[in-house]
Amino acid sequence: MPDPIRVSVVVPVHNAERYLEMTLRSALSSDLSELEIVVVDDGSTDRSADIVRQIGEPRIILIQLPASGGPARPRNVGIARARAAYVAFLDADDLIKPDKLSSAVAALDRHPEAGFAFTDFDRIDGDGKIVEASVLAPKRVFRELTSEPVEDSWRLIPRSELQRGLLRTTFLQTSGVIVRKSILSDIGTFDETLVYWEDMDLWFRLVHHCSALYREEIGHSYRLAPGSLTYKSSVLLVRDSIRVLRRERDRWTSGDERRNLDRRIAESLAKIGYEYRRSRKRFRAAAAFAQALVQHPDVTWMRALVGSLVRIDPTK
């Protein structure tokens, strides 16, 4: 007998007690009832696990792990546990709209040429107030991607357009993506050696593998919550982004695209240089600017390199 579960919602959790119940109840309120919610608690020290148990919903599966230090490991554990053919990602402080899962699953059922589906989303603050009503609609690069209307306000975006667009703007957000589990078996899951940019690493691999379905309606709310990984800026974050961008560069043969990626890598190396300069580590700063100069020659990096060697200016 076929498994009645249509979609597995994977929710990684680390000390999310403030928002977790709202997040889980938003998924439980979906008009697609044939779902499971795989909550993977990544070493929380607050009441997160207790909140999951207190909800008392049989469609929620709780898995507890030692803290891994990033979202990749708990997401991968959730994917491995998922029973459904479709995996939806939902971060522990975001909110999913009631018709998002049912509409996406129905569209993917009817369009096997698409490997995943995503929608527009809004941004909310810690109190749930909308601070940005639409994230994707204002993005000119994304709006100009070629797509074909299919049904029920969904559009099919070809793989080549996704690839081109993702080099220029970020339009995939973790809580917005519903993907065929078979695709993840083909391309691999989240890279657990990355603390940051593990999602972009997967999105780059995904758009080189398949087309996608997109709907303009708001499918989820992304919460701007202080203390989340999004708010932590560090040399580690930039180094992870460079690793991901270099992997993506290796996938392209086009000179224009490789030059674009060289520029982005150089800008990231320069960010490391400026961070070292602010920390008065001038030789490390100079080395980073030198790498940027080699990656993508620019007089800006040359001046920054020379400035790092001749003076220390913590404001630069």
What single-letter amino acid sits at 171?
F
Q: Which residues of 263-296 are buried (b: 16+ CB within 10 A; e: fewer)?
A: ebbbbbbbbbbebbbeeebbebbbbbbbbbbebb
pTM for this prediction: 0.92
Residues 221 and 285 occupy one common structural domain: no
* Radius of gyration for the alpha carbons in the chain, expressed in angstroms and rounded: 21
Residues 292 and 171 occupy one common structural domain: no
Residues 211 and 242 occupy one common structural domain: no
Distance CA 19, CA 127 (A): 10
Which of 205, 225, 245 is the endpoint of a domain?
A: 225
Let me know if residue 135 belongs to a domain.
yes
Q: What is the pLDDT of residue 230?
A: 44
Residues 167 and 37 occupy one common structural domain: yes
Let me know if residue 193 belongs to a domain.
yes
Residues 76 and 181 occupy one common structural domain: yes
Residues 168 and 249 occupy one common structural domain: no
Residues 278 and 299 occupy one common structural domain: yes
In DSSP notation, 265-314 reads HHHHHHHHHHHHHHTT-HHHHHHHHHHHHHHS--HHHHHHHHHHHH---T
Let me know if residue 1 belongs to a domain.
no
Let me know if residue 2 belongs to a domain.
no
Residues 294 and 187 occupy one common structural domain: no
* Residue numbers of the domain that contains 143: 7-225
Q: What is the pLDDT along the chain (316 residues), one digit of tens a residue?
A: 567 999 999 999 999 999 999 999 999 999 999 999 999 999 999 999 999 999 999 999 999 999 998 899 999 999 999 999 999 999 999 999 999 999 999 999 999 999 999 999 999 999 999 999 999 999 999 999 999 999 889 999 999 999 999 999 999 999 999 999 999 999 999 999 999 999 999 999 999 999 999 999 999 999 997 644 443 558 889 999 999 999 999 999 989 999 999 999 999 999 999 999 988 999 999 999 999 999 999 999 999 999 998 864 545 5
What single-letter amino acid sits at 299?
V
Of 12, 101, 96, give the one whose Cα is nearest residue 62: 12
Q: Name the burial class of residue 71, with classes exposed (0-12), middle (13-18) and buried (19+) by CB atoms within 10 angstroms of its CB.
A: buried
Residue 123 is part of a domain; what is its CATH number?
3.90.550.10
Angle at 155 between CA 151 and CA 159, to 5 degrees: 135
Q: What is the pLDDT of residue 229?
A: 41
- Those residues whose C-beta lies under 8 Å from the C-beta of residue 277, and which sit 6 or more positions away, are 285, 304, 307, 308, 312, 313, 314, 316
The structural domain count of the chain equals 2
Residues 67 and 119 occupy one common structural domain: yes
Place of tokens 């469609």: 59
Q: Is the Cβ–Cβ distance between 9 and 40 less than 8 Å?
A: no
Q: What is the pLDDT of residue 231?
A: 39
Which of 225, 245, 273 is the endpoint of a domain?
A: 225
> Taking each helix axis from N to C terminus, what angle separates 48-55 and 20-28, rounded to the nearest 10 degrees?
30
Helix (H) / strand (E) element for 118: namely strand 114-124
- Is the Cα dihedral 194, 200, 202, 204 positive or negative? negative
Q: What is the pLDDT of residue 302?
A: 93
Helix (H) / strand (E) element for 211: namely strand 211-223
Residues 280 and 135 occupy one common structural domain: no
Q: Is the Cβ–Cβ distance between 158 and 164 less than 8 Å?
A: no
Which of 225, 258, 291 is the endpoint of a domain?
A: 225
Let me know if residue 191 belongs to a domain.
yes
Let me know if residue 249 belongs to a domain.
yes
Let me know if residue 315 belongs to a domain.
no
Q: Is the Cβ–Cβ distance between 179 and 209 less than 8 Å?
A: no
Of 11, 65, 27, 8, give the one whose Cα is nearest residue 220: 27
Residues 288 and 147 occupy one common structural domain: no
| Torsions phi, psi for 65 (to 5 deg) | -125, 160
Let me know if residue 316 belongs to a domain.
no
Residues 60 and 175 occupy one common structural domain: yes
